[in-house]
Amino acid sequence: MNFLENIFGQLEAAGTIRVLVELREGGSVSVSGQELLERIAKARAFLASKNLKKGDRCALLASNSIDWIAADLAIMAEGLLVVPLYSRQAPAELVAMMKDCSPVLICCANEELREGIAQAWPEAPAQYLFTEIFATRAAASSEPQLQDSDPVAVIYTSGTSGEAKGVVLTAGNLGHMLMCTSERLDVLMENRSGQDKVFHYLPFCFAGSWVLLLTCLQRRSLLTLNTDLSKIAEQMREASPNYILNVPALLERMRKAVEEQLHKTGGVALMIYTQGKTAWLRKRALQSKFGDSIWLWVANTIVFPTIRKKMIGGNLRALICGSAPLNVETQLYFMMLGIPVLQVYGLTETMAICTMDDPRHVEPGRVGPAISGIEIKLGENEEIVVRGPNIFSGYWNRPVETAKALRDGWFHTGDQGEVNAAGNWRIVGRIKNLIILGSGHNIAPEPIEEDVQQSLPAAQQVMLVGNGRGYLTLIVTGQVTSTEVQRAVNFANAALPHYKQIRAFHIHPEPFTIDSGLLTAMGKLKRDAITSAFKSEIEDMYRVKQAV
């Protein structure tokens, strides 16, 4: 049985039980398993009427919704390849990706998105709105005929340092990953009966988000969809989920919001929180002092449970975090509140996941062991290389790039890592991000950037510069002062050898954004683009150092 047959079978078994809730302005809409199957059947009838052939590409341009899910499943069930696109991305970037994979049609959520594509690409293939697709009368359709080797999707990489590439994923890739994620969630939920309750806000066009969606359908979970990022906090509390997939940036904001609110409120709650936090950190460092146990007991009885409930509700088993490295202090912070944070590591090319924390054995700062059936080892320059049934079949129409990434069955991730005796992995940084100074020293920028950011919470982004130069410099965005940056730099430098120390910095008050072309769709730094955009400022740093 392929993964689609499994999902369709689970939806049929769900019957009238709700499986999806979409939160909209002024209310919500939900569908049962049977109602979702009916929507899928309408979309399949629409696609069948277009006389498409197996392997044709269909672009899916929309934000998260029940209709997105139905269209996605219908496209794959008809033997077509879904090409999910990020609806907030610039039309020119979207067009470049579509020209690369040549879709036969484009499914758009609304007229605004359709017009944006039409203006940027007058020769675009036919574009159809969801209202047209789901107005079709459902017809009898065959079971999805998928072999493990059949491609089902082309998902474009974020393109941090170059042009985005289309990652071709197969039914076998997806089927294996859904088995692995469900197994790990069984451990988290301790095989309890009833529906998992899941809250979700990350765009489905990203591989990890898509995997969670399909895992939820396969498990007959109740998945609540946020459609307004400004309402995540309140909707998260209302949904009171068992688990949530997150990116580090949101967890950092949640942590900051709690501490700001406590300091604003002050009084006894702040005192208990501060003393309890200090006691918890000292206990973890095996440096407890007299009275710490009392403060920790009071905090665990009064303050920490209140924060936890106000933040996420009363049913949470864990926060799941991926897409970028999570600051270890943030992971420890949530652990202090009694909220486990489980890390996941992977790339689009690995069907989003290579490692996942085991809920029974979490090591803060690490991303867990390899998932079932996956081999991971270190190659040259401590690069993480992976092989297994989760590895993509290749890049769309890019044989040279595919050959570089896939060698002797091993996928070369481009990430530097390390693994301990327990088999838990830690990600050090990206090999392609390595800064090579004129002295020949190789420096991974991410750990240093993380240290600076930790001491500079008001900064939006920080990025090291120094390729081919005599020393490192730093670009900082956000409303920060030179004094604050200097203090953070001094703190970071104190623990670094001379060649890793930051010798100058530049402050830019406006943050890098997706719209400016300086961040990827996942919010990662486009280092080459930033270096080009700030060329004159960088040259200034190497002419006149700010005191360090």
Q: What is the pLDDT of residues 89-127, one digit of tens each?
A: 888 889 999 999 999 999 999 999 999 999 999 999 999
Distance CA 296, CA 14 (A): 44
Question: How many CA atoms are closer than 13 Å to the CA of 289, on its beta-carbon side?
Answer: 7
- Please tell me the total number of residues recorded for the chain in this structure: 548
Helix (H) or strand (E) holding 464: strand 461-465
User: Under a CB-based contact definition with an 8 Å cutoff, are residues 367 and 425 in contact?
Assistant: yes
Res 515: pLDDT = 82
Tokens of 522: 């996942």
Q: Is 160's pLDDT higher than 70?
A: no
What pLDDT is recorded for position 323? 82
Q: What distance lies between CA 441 and its chain's CA centroid?
A: 31
User: Domain 434-543, what architecture?
Assistant: 2-Layer Sandwich (3.30)
Q: How buried is 120 (Cβ within 10 angstroms: 0-12 exposed, 13-18 middle, 19+ buried)?
A: middle
CATH architecture of 248-314+316-431: 3-Layer(aba) Sandwich (3.40)
**Predicted confidence (pLDDT) at residue 142 exceeds the cutoff of 90:** no
pTM summary value: 0.86
Rg of the chain (C-alpha set): 24
For 193, 238, 348, the CA distances from 394, given in Å and listed in that order, are 39, 42, 11
In the chain, what's the furthest Cα-to-Cα distance?
76
**Residue 153: helix, strand or coil by DSSP?**
strand
Between the alpha carbon of residue 116 and those of residues 89, 98, 156, 180, the distances in Å are: 11, 13, 19, 39
Task: Using pLDDT thresholds of 50, 70 and 90, give the confidence band for residue 498.
Answer: confident
Q: Which amino acid is at 142?
A: S
Q: Which of 42, 35, 8 is nearest to 220 (CA)?
A: 8
What was the pLDDT predicted at 217? 98
Of 74-88, 331-345, 489-503, least confident by mean pLDDT is 489-503
Q: How is the chain split into domains, by residue range?
A: 3-169+193-241, 248-314+316-431, 434-543
Per-residue pLDDT, averaged over 522-540, amounts to 89
Q: What is the pLDDT of residue 543?
A: 81
Average predicted confidence (pLDDT) for the chain = 92
Question: Which residue reads 């069907």 in tokens?
Answer: 351
Q: Where are the alpha helices (DSSP H) in 240-371?
A: 248-265, 267-284, 292-298, 304-312, 328-336
pLDDT recorded at residue 312: 87
Given this chain, do its domains 3-169+193-241 and 248-314+316-431 carry the same CATH topology? yes
Q: Is the dihedral of CA 265, 271, 277, 278 positive or negative?
A: positive
Residue 547 gets which letter from DSSP?
A: P
Beta-carbon contacts of 513 under 8 Å, excluding residues fewer than 6 positions away, are 519
Token pair listed for 222: 């109740």
Which among 40-44, 329-333, 525-529 has the top mean pLDDT?
Answer: 40-44
The dihedral of CA 513, 519, 525, 529: what is its sign? negative
How far is residue 74's CA from residue 55's CA, in Å, rounded to a whole number?
14
Measure the N-to-C terminal CA separation of the chain; round to a whole number of Å. Answer: 63
pLDDT of residue 412: 96
Neighbouring-strand partners of residue 24? 27
Closest CA to 292 of 312, 275, 268: 275
Look at the block and give the residue holding tokens 């088993």. Answer: 317
Is residue 548 pLDDT above 60, yes or no? no
Q: What are phi and psi of 106, to 5 degrees?
A: -125, 125
Q: Which CATH fold would you assign to the domain 3-169+193-241?
A: Rossmann fold (3.40.50)
What is the three-class DSSP state of 57? Answer: strand
| Residue owning tokens 């009838």 | 45
Sign of CA dihedral 112, 113, 116, 119: negative
3-state DSSP assignment of residue 371: coil
Residue type, 399: P
pLDDT at 443: 85
Question: What is the pLDDT at residue 520?
Answer: 82
Question: Helix (H, G, I), strand (E, B), or coil: what is residue 295?
Answer: helix
What percentage of the chain carries pLDDT values higher than 90? Answer: 73
